[in-house]
C-alpha cells in the first residue's frame, strides 16, 4: 500500500539520519576531547563542552564545526519523529509546536557554537540558556506525545531523562555566582550527563523507530486526551 511504503521510507530515513547523528556526535566530542587533553587537563567535573569549543586551534575547530554540522541533522531527525507521531495520531498543532521550538533551539545552538565564550560572553551564555530551557520544553512536548501515541515506553522514558537532567543543569548554570555554594564547576558534570542522556536518546529512538514501531491508534484516546483502559488494535507504522 502507498501509505505503508511512505512509512517504510520514513523509518529507513530514521535509521540513516540517526546513525549519522550518533557517529557525528561521537567523532566531534570524542575528537575535540582528545585534542583538548593534549593542551589542558580534561575532566568530566571541570571541563565544559564549550571549553573545547573555546580552545584554539584544533579543539575549537573540530568541536564547533562538528556541532554546527550536526544542527540540521538533529532537526531533520526531529522532523522524522514528528512525522511518525503525526501518523500515530498526534495533532497538527502539537507537531507544529515541536518543530517551531526545535527551530528556536537550532538558532540558539548556532549562537553557542558560532560564537565561542571568548568571542562574546553574553551571546554565548544567553544562547546556551535559551537552548537548554528549550530542551526542557521540547522534551516535555515530545514525551507527552510519545506516551499517548507510541506503545514503546522506553521512548518517553529516555525523553523524560533528558528533560530532567537538562532542567537540573540549566538551573545550576543560571545559579553560578548568584547562589552560595554553586561554583563555576558545579554544573559541569550535569552538562556531561545531559550529553550522554541525549546520545542515548538518539540511539534508542533510532533503533525503536527504525524498526517500524507499534503505536496506539487515535481511537484509543478519549475526548479528554487520556488513553482508554484498553487500546483497540495497536498496529505498526
- pLDDT, tens digit, 9 for 90 and up, residues 220-230: 333 444 444 33
Structural domain boundaries in the chain: 2-213
Mean pLDDT score, 211-215? 55
- On average, the pLDDT of the chain sits at 87
Does the pLDDT value for residue 142 go beyond 50?
Answer: yes
CB 46 within 8 A of CB 188: yes
Q: DSSP label at 218?
A: G
Q: Comparing 232 with 3, which gets the higher pLDDT?
A: 3
Distances in whole angstroms, Cα of residue 105 to Cα of each of 148, 194, 200, 213: 24, 15, 19, 27
Considering the chain, what percentage of its residues have pLDDT values greater than 70?
Answer: 87
**Across 207-211, average pLDDT:** 91
Query: Quick check: 4 pLDDT over 70?
Result: no
pLDDT (0 to 100) of residue 212: 57
Q: How many Cβ atoms are within 10 Å of 128's Cβ, its own excluded?
A: 23
Dist CA 111 CA 120 (whole Å): 10
Q: What is the rounded distance in angstroms from the CA atom of residue 8 to the CA atom of residue 3?
A: 9
Count helices and strands (H / E) in the chain: 7, 2
Amino acid at each position: 500500500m502507498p501509505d505503508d511504503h511512505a512509512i517504510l521510507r520514513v523509518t529507513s530515513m530514521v535509521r540513516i539520519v540517526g546513525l549519522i547523528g550518533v557517529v557525528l556526535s561521537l567523532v566531534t566530542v570524542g575528537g575535540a576531547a582528545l585534542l583538548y587533553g593534549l593542551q589542558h587537563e580534561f575532566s568530566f567535573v571541570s571541563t565544559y563542552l564549550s571549553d573545547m569549543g573555546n580552545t584554539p586551534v584544533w579543539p575549537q575547530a573540530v568541536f564547533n564545526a562538528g556541532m554546527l554540522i550536526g544542527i540540521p541533522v538533529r532537526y531533520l531527525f526531529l522532523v522524522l519523529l514528528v512525522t511518525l507521531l503525526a501518523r500515530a495520531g498526534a495533532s497538527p498543532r502539537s507537531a507544529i509546536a515541536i518543530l517551531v521550538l526545535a527551530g528556536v533551539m537550532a538558532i540558539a545552538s548556532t549562537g553557542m557554537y558560532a560564537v565561542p565564550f571568548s568571542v562574546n560572553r553574553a551571546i554565548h551564555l544567553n544562547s546556551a540558556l535559551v537552548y537548554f530551557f528549550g530542551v526542557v520544553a521540547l522534551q516535555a512536548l515530545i514525551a507527552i506525545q510519545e506516551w499517548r501515541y507510541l506503545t514503546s515506553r522506553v521512548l518517553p522514558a529516555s525523553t523524560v531523562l533528558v528533560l530532567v537532567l537538562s532542567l537540573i543543569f540549566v538551573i545550576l548554570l543560571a545559579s553560578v555566582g548568584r547562589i552560595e555554594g554553586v561554583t563555576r564547576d558545579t554544573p559541569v558534570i550535569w552538562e556531561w550527563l545531559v550529553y550522554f542522556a541525549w546520545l542515548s536518546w538518539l540511539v534508542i529512538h533510532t533503533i525503536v523507530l527504525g524498526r517500524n514501531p507499534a503505536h496506539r491508534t487515535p481511537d484509543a484516546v478519549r475526548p479528554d486526551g487520556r488513553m482508554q483502559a484498553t487500546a483497540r488494535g495497536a498496529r505498526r507504522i
